Structures are given as structure tokens and as C-alpha cells.
Structure 1
């Protein structure tokens, strides 16, 4: 397969490309703060051709991006909230600080919260200088 992070410079766009988003999709963003990777956000908006919508957006979305730090509270609640307006088959990308950085969330904590919220981790990518991205998918159970 051979997909690796690109060289320094432009990693944000490369990271955004790795999320599997397409033009015209509506992407809802949770957890925005001063420490987010703006290059990654810009890359997402460039790919979709639309601005990211915030937590208060009231319609269905194609994907959700959650910036999450250890001190942000209850991850399970955040994942349940994020799924509320997500289109069936839509993806949830949980962006967490890399190991060794302030606010890092361990993989076991992510898996536990995801399972409780009816999701499961399908892949984890190095997505930006300080952030990793874990794709969370729905379990195969009917409603």
C-alpha cells in the first residue's frame, strides 16, 4: 500500500487527503480551539469546497471531525453528540494529540468511549504535526 506522511511542509493538505472526504460533503467540527491544526482544517475545506460547520449546525452531515484533548471532558458523550446529525454511513474522525503532547488521549480510552457510543476504531493515522486521527465506524447492528 505504501501510504506514508509526506515530507515536512504541506503535511496538512496531505493529511486532509487521507481522510477520504470528497467535494460537496458537509463536515461538522467539534472541539475547535486555538490549538487545532489550521493547515489541516484548510485542507478539509479545500477538498470539500465548503466551510466546516460548527457544533450547532442543525442538519445532517456527511462526516464529523472532533478535536479532542484529555481535559475536554467525557469522550463518550462527545461521540454520541457527534453521531446525532451524521448521515448513515458517514464517518467520524477523532483527532487527538500525539503521545507525549499535552492533552494526549490513550488508545484504550478512545476504544472504550467508542464502544460505549456504538462505534469502533477502524484506523489511526498521523494526520498533522501534533495530531493523530482515528476513524470511528458504526458497528454492524441494525437499529
Structure 2
């Protein structure tokens, strides 16, 4: 017995964002917290992440330990290294930060050297970027 018209569509499978979201390292069962949410974030990216991890994103009020931190960060948001240090305090050993910055053509785009300097300060390594709509995602992990 199915209910009429209430089948949930799997946004992740139909979205061109599914492969890049998975490439960043999102997987079922992860607890994901989100920082830097504002009216310019890509809602489809958020929906695909929720579909892939099979749970809603936690907001900044969540006080548990997480597997992944999603950090939406734009030029002018302050000090990236400070925000990365704050993000690391909530993360489980072996977790990662998904740093999402504006892509080409946006006035608040973050220069690559800013990300590199912040990663060096925080002993993080950044993966190559993946396009996520108007945003670019990078996986940041602790150096081994």
C-alpha cells in the first residue's frame, strides 16, 4: 500500500550536484553541521548533502560532535583561519571540513592564497575544488 502523491523524490540521484557532493566525501550516516548559512547559499547543494548523508544538516546551535562541517565562507566574512579553528573544535577525529566558497564571477570570491594560508595556519590540507553551482567546494583535512 503506497500513499498517493507522497513518494519522496531522490534529489541527489537526479541532480548534477550528486557526484561532486560525494567526491567531497559526504556519505550515509554522517552527522553534518553547517556554518555560514545566509540567503546566498545554494539550497540544492544543501538538499543533496542531506539526501546523501540521509539526515538533516545541524545548525550552529548543535552541541554534539560531528563528522563533517560545512562552512559557507565568502570574502569579507572575517578571518578564515579563526573560523576553521572553531570548526575543528566540533569535529570527530577523522572528520573533514567542506569549505564552500563563491565561484568565478562573484564579487565575494575568495582568493586561493587566502584558503591556502588559512589551511597552513590550521595544519589542514585542501583538496582540489569541485564545482557546486555558483560555489566551489574543497575538502579540508588534518595533515597526517
TM-score of the superposed pair, with normalisation by structure 1:
0.85
Task: Name the SS of the counterpart of 1:70 in structure 2.
Answer: coil
Partner residue, 1:137: 141
1:6-45 equivalent positions in 2, closer than 5 A: 10-45=15-50
Distance in 1 between residues matched to 2:138 and 2:28, nearest whole Å? 21
Please say if residues 67 and 94 of structure 1, whose CA atoms lie closer than 8 Å, have aligned partners that are also in contact.
Answer: yes
Larger radius of gyration: 2
Q: Which runs of 5+ in 2 are unaligned?
A: 1-13
Q: Which runs of 5+ in 1 are unaligned?
A: 1-8
Task: Name the SS of the counterpart of 2:76 in structure 1.
Answer: helix
Deviation at 1:91, TM superposition (A): 1.1
Partner residue, 1:94: 99
Distance in 2 between residues matched to 1:54 and 1:84, nearest whole Å? 15
Residue 47 of structure 1 pairs with residue 46 of structure 2: no
TM-score of the superposed pair, with normalisation by structure 2:
0.85
Distance in 2 between residues matched to 1:36 and 1:12, nearest whole Å? 14
1:85-124 equivalent positions in 2, closer than 5 A: 85-124=90-129
Pairwise CA RMSD of aligned residues? 1.4
